[in-house]
Chains A and B, each alone.
Chain A
């Protein structure tokens, strides 16, 4: 859980870096919603599955990475 990191501040630092990455992705037009951070312990299998499903649905809604389309267009 947040703060309960085996590496002390590790997950706090990661949270801030993920926030930074989201911001950059928003600025350059890719979309910060494509990266997400969840906190859980290795014992919480079902929760992991739940988050994975949640994220999958979200990505399906957002569609493929816009860079894929752009790359294809440029190759053509």
Chain B
């Protein structure tokens, strides 16, 4: 693709043609940064960048920005996830500058789950701007060095801008046009929702490649290992926008309980191996929530270790 536009290590790895590997950590429901540091320690040599979720599922947690700063102070590469549910354009720009002041170079622009799912269903929500407009806004701040209001920014942020994509959400027919829209808005990398139905993902990717979008944006395929058959069933039936094929649930249920985590990891690695062969896939985003200790194993078994070194 193109050369790096930012100091982002993630961007450098992608633009040098390597398959990138990212993962994510959920911050604690308290103010102890040790949790984040511990999780990051577990995975740091096996990933190129670490996403920190932003009050995911609307459950109040230590903020993504502070968590990213902790990672940065450890010498690691954070990806700041930012939802538009809780902050207006003033706060969003302000937090972006906050992140930039610590030289955080990656941002993932998201809508955010509705607050009814979290611990404060009675809260107001913001949605001053949507996730597409946030992508545009960060690009404006970076490329033109301007605030949304038009004034100049002193020391503009140098951020690699990402967005999420869900090839499995409804309606299917606009999932490729939606990606095109995000690219047009300025997204430079994409992390997808976790993939279990590789065939359906391939169908989406064919549409993406047809339009040449894979040459304009780096697509990191999302994967999540099943910890148990129960988890597989839960994700199949209770999580919106998730496509879990029956064979996988059967496979998980077909092994005794103690063997299920192993089977889940096996499926995850197999999925990664299949996805490696799909045109347009530039890397992987491994989401192993509360199972971060397995990330190194997954990366290893998928032949993605060691991680490439790039000059900082």
A and B touch in the complex (CB under 8 A): no
Q: Which residues of B contact A (CB under 8 A)?
A: none
